Structure 1
Amino acid sequence: MKRNIIWLLVIFLLVMPNNAEAKVEEYKVVSELPEENIILYAKKKNGLFQDFRIHFKGETYFRPFWMNVTNPTYAPELFYEDIDKDGKKELIITLTKGSGSGVRVEEVYVYRYSNGLIDILVDNPLAIIYKNVKTKLTSEKAEIIVGDKVSIVDTKSIEPSHLFEDISFGSIIDYEVINKNLMVRVSGQITPAMFVGDFIIVYEYCNKMYQAKTIDFIPYFSIDTNPFYGPVKH
């Protein structure tokens, strides 16, 4: 009997490390900054990347509830830049929760390092828009007011029955780090298949969180002035 127990213990010790190794192998690299020794891992489950791990300069952080679509076009992005102008770099991670025709919904996480990665709150871009932007949509025009700036987009060529009651937001939320600034592009939608332009929010670090520094509306007929199109400088 004792001999059987000993053999069971030996088998248990031999098998367990192999199982643990197999579990680790389920993770795959989904984004990395090799020059900074920063790697983002995730498992592919039910058509999504889930159960993330951040390897940050030799330290590991677990984010089991994060999700990202598996389409390579919308892979998670890593940035390591000084976006709060304090002389120290922050880690910025963007994840795409939803994608498709006319849909790109991202979320962003910002960390500073102080004896470990510390999560910094980023103000919700939709809340920023609803607080600071006024809109009106009719069969003749879309009117967008940001501060004292009024933008008008002609809608006469659009079938009135296709128009929404007002400009809608939320189907495109796209974060980027441009010229060491955290920015987000939120598109304004006027029909199920048509957008009127983009709201560009530039964040700044204020009162221990990232808040809107500037908000600008760029109509789609002025796409050449939109920093999210063309070469992006991080």
Structure 2
Amino acid sequence: MKRLFSIVLVISLLNFPIKTEAQIQGHTIVARSDKAGITLYAEEREGLYRDFYLKFNGGMIVEQDWKNVTNPAFAPQIQTDDLNGDGQQELVILLTKGTETGVFVQEVHVFQYERRQIGDSAVKVPFETEVMDPIKWIRKNVTSTVHRNQAEIKINGTSYTVDLRALAPKHLFKKVIFGNRITYEIRNHHLIARLGGEVSSAGGQMGELVITYTYKHDHFQPQTATFCLKKDELINAAMNG
């Protein structure tokens, strides 16, 4: 599914205004990749980078809904990889939206490319491809219960049991909470989301749900999901069909 966005092509035939670096007032470069030919600009406002411009060879894309913390340690990341197996590199933008105590949340944006013939020029234009929200997927495919000494998680028929006695948590939730820690990475040409699981208001992660995405029906959707301990050791899972 191609998401509609505001795009400015540096082609006079389209009668779009040509935006140069000097014309992006109040914006600074927050990330750049010579390999991808991409530069990200943003405006610092209210403690966050907002109102992004994605500059590529031929124009700019305006992304007004993007946000990223201003801490240089968590600057936006620009990556490229073939994530759908078509032999072409996708453009991946990783944003860090929150880094408060007990919270670390990233957001991913994946772009594919298409060539547009404008006059005598063939312009390689990026367009964003939907990545299914892992939280929405969890709501439909993951169930859990938390007891005094253990937590049980079921993912599409596969059950995981976690011994909580070593954690000695207090103020237990009724179910495992995902969403306070969300990170993304690329491994073996696959997009992977990692979501920390919490069982107590005292915080701390007992493990994480690892979701591997695949490209299907014009968007990226979860293909497999497992629950892992903090050190990536798979919890003993009882297969229930």
TM-score normalised by length of structure 1: 0.80
Does structure 2 retain, via aligned residues, the 8 Å contact 1:96–1:106?
A: yes
Equivalent residue number for residue 91 of structure 2? 91
Equivalent residue number for residue 163 of structure 1? 172
What's the RMSD between the two structures over aligned residues?
Answer: 2.1
Does structure 2 retain, via aligned residues, the 8 Å contact 1:201–1:213?
A: yes
SS of 1:167's partner is strand
* One-letter amino acid of the structure 2 residue matched with residue 150 of structure 1: S
Does structure 2 retain, via aligned residues, the 8 Å contact 1:203–1:211?
A: yes
Partner residue of 1:151 out of 157, 160, 171: 160
Alpha-carbon distance in structure 2 between the residues aligned to 1:199 and 1:42: 32
Equivalent residue number for residue 211 of structure 1? 221
Q: Aligned pair count?
A: 205
Where does the alignment leave 5 or more consecutive residues of structure 1 unmatched?
1-19, 227-234
Partner residue of 2:205 out of 188, 195, 198: 195
How far did 1:51 drift?
1.1
Alpha-carbon distance in structure 2 between the residues aligned to 1:209 and 1:35: 24
Equivalent residue number for residue 119 of structure 1? 128
Equivalent residue number for residue 232 of structure 1? none
Q: How does 1:12-23 map to 2 (within 5 A)?
A: none
Alpha-carbon distance in structure 1 between the residues aligned to 2:56 and 2:169: 52
Larger radius of gyration: 1
Where does the alignment leave 5 or more consecutive residues of structure 2 unmatched?
1-19, 117-124, 235-241
Alpha-carbon distance in structure 2 between the residues aligned to 1:224 and 1:124: 22
How far did 1:225 drift?
4.5
User: After TM superposition, what 4+ stretches of structure 1 lie above 4 angstroms from structure 2?
Assistant: 20-23, 157-161
Q: Which has the higher helix share?
A: 1
SS of 2:35's partner is helix
SS of 1:195's partner is coil
Identical aligned residues as a percent: 34
Alpha-carbon distance in structure 2 between the residues aligned to 1:21 and 1:201: 38
Task: Indicate how the Cα distance of structure 1 residues 65 and 148 shifts in structure 2: closer, same or farther if over 3 A, else same.
Answer: closer
Asked which structure has the greater RCO (Cα within 8 Å, sep 6+), the reply is 2
Report which stretch shifted further, 200-209 or 23-32. 23-32
Alpha-carbon distance in structure 1 between the residues aligned to 2:102 and 2:82: 32
* One-letter amino acid of the structure 2 residue matched with residue 187 of structure 1: G
Q: State the Cα deviation string for residues 180-202 of structure 1 (Å, max 9, x = none).
A: 21111111111121222111111
TM-score normalised by length of structure 2: 0.78
Does structure 2 retain, via aligned residues, the 8 Å contact 1:139–1:158?
A: no
Does structure 2 retain, via aligned residues, the 8 Å contact 1:37–1:58?
A: no
Alpha-carbon distance in structure 2 between the residues aligned to 1:21 and 1:149: 52
Task: Indicate how the Cα distance of structure 1 residues 97 and 35 shifts in structure 2: closer, same or farther if over 3 A, else same.
Answer: same
* One-letter amino acid of the structure 2 residue matched with residue 122 of structure 1: V
